């Protein structure tokens, strides 16, 4: 990965964490470690006044169902489009993606904003969850760098298959899809014409290079769960966006 987009600005004072479902408490605990106030967000009113928003891991379909049922989805989309920093981890990354494969029957409401194509549950069921080391373009203090190494926790994690030209790839790794994802990918590759401009990871045997962290303007997304480790680099980076 190369240098990341954007100049670092003043640190945020209060960050919202989407709390419709999923692992939001861990994000709030890490925000507090860094002296930043964390606010649970479930309504449009709770989006008011925050400096940025974290969309955590969990079950993206369940989050979408709750958000739509409560009438909250349009407000969430408006916040993402407002230009304030937004970070999606795992399920949050799926929701921020413009296109998601392997959706459940009937489709899934996406917030969108990231010009990427993701595969839900690329890394398999929870029993297949793993830790993996990979190169990234954020150092241990959360500053942009050409290359550093970090470890990520992947729990039923998605993977980015393609990223548009305006998307900065911050981390990738080589991994084989789970059996279900492999079948869906094979079907997708048979019926879909690939856009020439899209950044398509290389295929290496059964495994392929997939993207696991990106930034596009004010949006950051990671397929893994930094909040489940003691590595605060991604949170520090986000707070400086």
- Judge whether 156 is annotated as a binding position: yes
More reliable by pLDDT, 186 or 145:
145
Residue 155 marked as a ligand binder: yes
Residues in CB range of 79: below 8 A, 6 or more apart: 47, 53, 86
Mean pLDDT of 215-223: 98
Confidence check: pLDDT of 4 > 60 = no
Looking at the predicted structure, is the pLDDT value of residue 112 above 60?
yes
Q: What is the per-residue DSSP string for 148-191?
A: EEEEEEESS--EEEEE-TTPEEEEEEEEPPPHHHHHHHHHHHHH
pLDDT at 22 over 70: yes
Residue 58 assigned to a binding site: yes
Q: Mean pLDDT check: name the lowest of 33-42, 51-60, 99-108.
A: 99-108
pLDDT of residue 185: 81
> Active-site positions?
90, 225, 227
pLDDT at residue 124 tops 90: no
Which of 149, 152, 34, 4 lies closest to 89, judged by CA? Answer: 152
The residue whose two tokens read 């190169």 is 135
d(CA 231, CA 151): 8
Q: Which CATH architecture has domain 14-239?
A: 3-Layer(aba) Sandwich (3.40)
pLDDT of residue 103: 63
Mean pLDDT of 182-205: 61
What is the average pLDDT score of the chain?
85
Residue 59 in marked binding region: yes
Asked if 131 and 151 touch (Cβ cutoff 8 Å), the reply is yes
Flag the least confident range among 98-112, 196-210, 216-230: 196-210
Q: What is the pLDDT of residue 68?
A: 72
- Which element (helix H / strand E) includes 67? helix 60-69
Question: Would you state the structure tokens that stand for residue 41, as one six-digit string?
Answer: 């967000």
């Amino acid at each position: 990965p190369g240098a990341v987009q954007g100049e670092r600005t003043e640190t945020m004072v209060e960050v919202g964490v989407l709390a419709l479902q999923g692992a939001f408490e861990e994000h709030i605990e890490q925000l507090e470690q860094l002296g930043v106030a964390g606010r649970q967000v479930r309504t449009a009113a709770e989006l008011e006044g925050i400096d940025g928003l974290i969309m955590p891991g969990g079950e993206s379909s369940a989050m979408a169902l709750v958000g739509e049922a409560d009438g909250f989805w349009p407000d969430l989309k408006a916040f993402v489009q407002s230009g304030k920093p937004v970070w999606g981890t795992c399920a949050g990354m799926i929701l921020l993606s413009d296109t998601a494969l392997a959706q459940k029957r009937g489709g899934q409401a996406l917030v969108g904003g990231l010009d990427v194509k993701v595969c839900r549950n690329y890394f398999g069921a929870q029993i297949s969850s793993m830790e993996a080391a990979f190169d990234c373009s954020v150092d241990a203090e959360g500053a942009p760098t050409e290359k550093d190494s970090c470890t990520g926790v992947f729990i039923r994690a998605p993977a980015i298959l393609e990223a548009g030209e305006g998307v900065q790839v911050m981390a990738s790794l080589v991994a084989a899809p789970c059996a279900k994802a492999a079948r869906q990918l094979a079907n997708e590759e048979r019926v879909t014409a690939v856009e020439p401009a899209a950044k398509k990871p290389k295929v290496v045997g059964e495994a392929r290079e997939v993207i696991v962290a990106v930034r596009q303007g004010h949006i950051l997304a990671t397929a893994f769960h930094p909040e489940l480790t003691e590595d605060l680099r991604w949170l520090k980076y986000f707070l400086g966006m």
